[in-house]
C-alpha cells in the first residue's frame, strides 16, 4: 500500500486539481495537470484516485498550517472524556484544544473546523474516485477492478461520515451523484452509513488486494460497529460473528505488538492509517504528522527521543483504573487508592504499555523522566505511549524530525471486535457466558507480556524478576455470568483497559448515555490531584471551572463557518 503512494504521486497531484479535490492537498504548486478523462482511461489513473481517498485517513491536507483537530486518533476530542488531559502548559493552546477539555465549547474553535474539513475532504475524494471508476467502466474497463475500487471508495465514504458522526452527530451525507453541496443535516446519518457499508460488502473482494486496503470482512466489522452505535444489537452481533467466523483474524501474541512499527499490520489489525516516512515526501506528511503533539517533551533531566510536545497526558483516574484485586480482576472503586510506582499494589500490565510513568521503562527509550511533563502539576505526571516509535525506529525528514515516524494509527482491532461482540451479546439479552468467554480471551492475551527492563527485551513475561517497578496480574472472570448489569459493567470496563487512549472512550460514553455521570465524577476526583480541570488559565483568561457536562455535549458544535457557507442548509447542534 505504501509503495502505491509513490507510484501514483504524480496522478494524485493532478487529481487534486482536476476532479475537485482541494488544491490545498498539495505540498507545492503543481507544474502540470492531467484531465479526469485521462485518469479514467487506465487502471493506474483510477487507482491513483482511490489512493487519494486512503491518503486522507491521516487527516492532513497541508493547507492551513498544522490542523491538529484532524488527527486520525481524535486525541484532542478525547480530552473531553476521562482518559487524557489536554496536557502541555496552560498557555500552549492550539486552536481551542484547552476549551475542548474544559467543556467551554464555541462554534468558532479551530479544532472543530479542522476535523470538519478533513472528513469532508475524504468524502469528496471518495465520491471523485467512484465517478472516475464508473467512467473507466463506461470506457470498457474491467468490471472486477471497477467493482473493487467502487467498493473500497464506498467503504471509505462510510468511514469518513462515521468519523464525522462520532464528533458532530448531525452531519450532511454526500453521494457521488450530488451536485448541490449545500445539503441539510436534518436526517439520521447512521442508516445512510449502514446502506453504504452494505453496498460496499457486495462489491469488495473476500481478501485485501494489498496491505492497508479494505475487504469484505473489514466492511462487515465496521458495519457491526455502526449498528452497535445505532443500538441494533442483534444486527451488530450477526456482523461481528461473520468477522470471527472468517478465521482471518486473531489476537496478536503480545499486547504491544499492536503498537510497534516492526509488528504492525499483524493478525489483529483490520483497518489502520498506513503511516510512512522516507518515502520521497520531504516533509513526512504521510507519517504520524498530526499525532506528534502527544509525544513526550524534551525535558531537562534526560532528553526524550522526540523532543516535543507533551500534550495528551493520561489522567490519574485512567491510571487508577488498572488496579486489580488479589484475583487479578479490576477493582470496583479504582479511585479509592492512587496508583503509585514501586508500591505493593497489583496492576494490569497494559498500564505500562499505555502510560509513561516516571522511573518505569518507556519502550526502549530508558526510564520515563518526570521532566518530560510540561506544566508539571497542571498537566498531571504521565505521558501517552501507544502511538510512540521506538528509539531505534527510523525518523522522517521535515520539521522536528524526531517526532515523525511510520507508526500506524489503528482504527479497528480484532480485540475491539471481540469486545463489541461481547457487548452485543449482553445488550441483546443473548448468551452472557459467550460474552464472558470473549472478554476472557482479551484478558488472557493481556497477561502474555509486560514492558521489559531498560536495556533488556522490550517485552517480557509479566512475572519477570527484572520488573521492579510494579506487580502485574491479569485474572479471568469466573463463571457463570447470569446478571446482565454485572456483565455490562465488566464489558465496558474491559473496553477502557484494552482500548484506552486509542480514540474510543468519548464515543463509548456518549453511545452508552453515561457521559454526564462519568465525566462529572472524573472531574470531581481529578481536580484533587491536578490543576487543569479547575479552569484557571492566565493566557486565556478566566474560563469557568470545567463543566458542567450537559445533554448538549453529546455532540460537538458544527463550525460556524460551515453554517454560514451552507446558506442556512445546516442547522447548528442544540445548545450552541
Looking at the structure, tell me whether residues 447 and 407 fall in a common domain.
yes
| Sign for the pseudo-dihedral over CA of 254, 260, 265, 271 | positive
For residue 279, the model assigns a pLDDT of: 87
Total domains present in the chain: 2
Please, which pLDDT band fits residue 32 given cuts at 50, 70 and 90?
A: very low
Q: What is the mean pLDDT of residues 357-377?
A: 93
* Average pLDDT over every residue of 163-187: 96
Residues 432 and 559 reside in one and the same domain: no
Residue 46 has pLDDT above 60, yes or no: yes
* pTM of the predicted structure, to 2 decimals: 0.92
* 128 assigned to some structural domain: yes
Residue 312: inside a domain: yes
Q: Tell me if residue 87 falls in helix, strand or coil.
A: strand
pLDDT band, very low/low/confident/very high, at 400 (cuts 50, 70, 90):
low
Q: With 70 as the cut, is the pLDDT of residue 8 above it?
A: no
How confident is the model over 106-165, as pLDDT tens digits?
A: 999 999 999 999 999 999 999 999 999 999 999 999 999 999 999 999 999 999 999 999
Q: How much of the chain, in percent, has pLDDT values that exceed 90?
A: 78
Q: Do 425 and 483 share a structural domain?
A: yes
232: pLDDT strictly greater than 70: yes
> pLDDT tens digits for 439-468?
999 999 999 999 999 999 999 999 999 999
Residues 472 and 561 placed together within one structural domain of the fold: no
Phi first, then psi, for residue 413 (nearest 5°) are -110, 155
Tell me: the pLDDT tens digits for 539-572?
A: 344 344 577 899 999 999 999 999 999 999 999 9
pLDDT of residue 544: 44
pLDDT of residue 534: 60
By mean pLDDT, which of 95-99, 303-307, 364-368 is the weakest?
303-307
pLDDT digits (tens, 9 = 90+) for 279-313: 887 778 889 989 989 999 988 888 889 888 999 99
| pLDDT computed for residue 62 by the predictor | 67
Bridge-based pairing state of the strands 459-460 and 450-451: antiparallel
Given a cut of 50, whether residue 71 has pLDDT beyond it is yes
Indicate if 421 and 369 belong to the same structural domain.
yes
Q: Is residue 400 part of a domain?
A: yes
Tell whether 11 is covered by a domain. Answer: yes
> Which pLDDT does position 348 carry in this prediction?
98
Residue 26 has pLDDT above 60, yes or no: no
Whole-number pLDDT of residue 530 = 84
Average pLDDT, the chain: 90
**Torsion angle defined by CA atoms of residues 207, 208, 209 and 213, in that order, rounded to the nearest 10 degrees:** 160
Same-domain check for residues 553 and 530:
no
Report pLDDT for 527: 87
Cα distances (angstroms) measured from residue 235 to each of 30, 169, 420: 47, 21, 12
Is residue 408 one of the residues assigned to a domain?
yes
Distance (Å, whole) CA 162 – CA 190: 8
- The answer to whether residue 370 is domain-embedded is yes
Q: Does residue 277 contact residue 284 with C-beta atoms inside 8 Å?
A: yes
In this prediction, residues 94-116 reach a mean pLDDT of 94
Range scoring the smallest mean pLDDT among 91-95, 153-157, 453-457, 480-484:
91-95
Q: Is the pLDDT of residue 413 over 90?
A: yes
pLDDT at 170: 98
Confidence of residue 34 (pLDDT cuts 50, 70, 90): low
Across the range 198-211, mean pLDDT stands at: 97
| 370-387 pLDDT per residue, tens | 999 998 878 889 999 999
Cell of residue 296, nine digits: 513526550
What pLDDT does residue 65 have?
Answer: 64
Are 553 and 414 members of one domain?
no
pLDDT band at 531 (very low <50, low <70, confident <90, very high): confident
Q: Which domain holds residue 381?
A: 289-534
Label residue 3 by pLDDT band (50, 70, 90). very low
One domain, residues 337 and 485: yes
Identify whether residues 496 and 412 lie together within a single domain: yes
Domain containing residue 457: CATH number: 1.25.40.390
Q: In percent, how much of the chain has pLDDT > 70? A: 90
Q: For residue 37, what pLDDT is reported?
A: 75
3 state SS of 352:
helix
Q: Is residue 468 part of a domain?
A: yes
Dihedral of the CA atoms 413, 327, 424, 174 (nearest 10)? -40
Question: Do residues 457 and 557 both lie within one domain?
Answer: no
Residues 552, 473 share a domain = no
Task: Give CA–CA dist 436/277, Å, rounded.
Answer: 41
pLDDT surpasses 70 at 35: no
Do 559 and 466 lie in a common domain? no
For residue 250, how many other CB atoms are within 10 A of its CB?
Answer: 13
Burial 267-285 (b: 16+ CB within 10 A, else e): ebbbbbbbbbbebebebbb
Q: What is the 3-state secondary structure (H, E, C) of 126-186?
A: HHHHHHHHHHHHHCCCCHHHHHHHHHHHHHHHHHHHHHHHHHHCCCCCCCCCCCCCCCCCC
What pLDDT is attached to residue 306?
A: 86
Tell me if 368 is assigned to some domain.
yes
Amino acid at each position: 500500500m505504501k509503495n502505491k503512494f509513490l507510484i501514483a504521486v504524480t496522478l494524485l497531484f493532478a487529481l487534486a486539481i482536476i476532479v475537485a479535490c482541494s488544491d490545498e492537498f498539495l505540498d507545492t504548486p503543481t507544474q502540470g495537470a492531467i484531465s479526469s478523462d485521462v485518469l479514467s482511461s487506465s487502471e493506474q489513473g483510477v487507482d491513483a484516485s482511490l489512493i487519494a481517498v486512503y491518503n486522507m485517513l491521516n487527516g492532513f491536507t497541508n493547507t492551513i498550517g498544522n490542523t491538529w483537530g484532524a488527527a486520525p486518533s481524535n486525541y484532542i476530542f478525547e480530552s473531553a472524556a476521562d482518559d487524557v488531559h489536554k496536557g502541555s502548559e496552560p498557555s500552549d493552546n492550539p486552536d481551542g484544544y484547552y476549551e475542548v477539555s474544559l467543556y467551554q465549547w464555541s462554534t468558532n474553535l479551530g479544532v472543530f473546523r479542522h476535523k470538519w474539513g478533513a472528513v469532508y475532504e475524504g468524502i469528496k475524494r471518495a465520491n471523485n474516485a467512484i465517478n472516475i471508476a464508473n467512467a473507466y467502466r463506461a470506457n470498457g474497463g474491467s468490471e472486477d477492478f471497477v467493482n473493487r475500487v467502487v467498493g473500497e471508495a464506498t467503504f471509505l465514504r462510510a468511514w469518513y461520515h462515521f468519523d464525522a458522526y462520532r464528533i458532530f452527530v448531525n452531519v450532511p451525507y454526500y453521494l457521488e451523484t450530488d451536485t448541490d453541496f449545500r445539503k441539510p443535516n436534518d436526517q439520521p446519518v447512521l442508516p445512510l452509513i449502514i446502506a453504504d457499508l452494505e453496498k460496499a460488502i457486495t462489491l469488495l473482494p473476500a481478501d485485501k488486494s494489498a496491505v492497508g486496503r479494505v475487504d469484505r470482512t473489514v466492511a462487515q466489522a465496521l458495519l457491526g460497529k455502526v449498528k452497535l452505535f445505532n443500538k441494533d444489537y442483534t444486527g451488530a452481533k450477526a456482523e461481528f460473528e461473520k468477522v470471527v467466523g472468517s478465521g482471518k483474524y486473531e489476537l496478536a501474541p503480545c499486547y504491544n505488538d499492536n503498537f510497534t512499527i516492526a509488528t504492525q499490520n499483524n493478525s489483529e489489525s483490520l483497518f489502520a492509517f498506513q503511516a510512512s516516512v522516507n518515502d520521497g515526501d520531504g516533509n513526512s506528511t504521510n507519517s504520524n504528522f498530526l499525532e506528534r503533539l502527544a509525544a513526550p517533551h524534551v525535558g531537562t533531566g534526560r532528553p526524550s527521543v522526540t523532543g516535543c510536545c507533551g500534550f495528551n497526558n493520561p489522567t490519574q483516574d485512567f491510571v487508577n483504573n488498572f488496579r486489580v484485586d488479589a484475583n487479578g480482576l479490576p477493582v470496583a472503586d479504582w479511585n479509592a487508592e492512587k496508583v503509585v510506582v514501586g508500591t505493593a499494589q497489583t496492576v494490569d500490565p497494559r498500564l505500562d504499555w499505555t502510560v509513561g510513568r516516571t522511573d518505569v521503562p518507556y519502550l526502549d527509550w530508558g526510564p520515563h523522566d518526570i521532566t518530560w511533563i510540561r506544566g508539571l502539576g497542571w498537566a498531571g505526571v504521565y505521558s501517552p505511549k501507544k502511538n510512540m516509535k521506538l528509539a531505534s525506529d527510523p525518523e522522517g525528514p521535515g520539521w522536528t524530525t524526531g517526532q515523525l515516524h511510520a507508526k500506524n494509527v489503528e482504527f479497528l482491532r480484532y480485540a475491539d471486535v471481540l469486545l463489541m461482540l461481547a457487548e452485543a451479546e449482553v445488550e441483546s439479552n443473548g448468551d452472557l457466558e459467550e460474552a464472558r468467554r470473549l472478554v476472557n480471551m482479551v484478558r488472557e492475551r493481556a497477561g502474555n507480556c509486560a514492558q521489559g527492563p531498560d536495556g533488556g527485551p522490550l517485552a517480557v513475561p509479566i512475572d519477570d524478576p527484572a520488573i521492579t517497578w510494579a506487580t502485574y496480574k491479569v485474572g479471568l472472570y469466573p463463571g457463570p455470568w447470569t446478571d446482565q448489569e454485572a456483565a455490562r459493567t465488566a464489558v465496558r470496563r474491559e473496553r477502557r483497559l484494552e482500548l484506552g487512549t486509542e480514540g474510543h472512550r468519548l464515543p463509548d460514553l456518549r453511545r452508552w448515555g453515561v457521559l454526564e455521570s462519568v465525566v462529572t465524577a472524573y472531574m470531581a476526583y481529578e481536580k484533587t490531584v491536578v490543576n487543569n480541570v479547575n479552569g484557571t488559565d492566565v493566557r486565556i483568561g478566566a474560563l469557568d471551572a470545567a463543566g458542567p457536562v450537559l445533554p448538549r455535549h453529546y455532540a460537538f458544535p458544527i463550525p460556524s463557518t460551515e453554517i454560514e457557507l451552507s446558506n442556512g442548509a445546516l442547522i447548528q447542534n442544540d445548545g450552541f
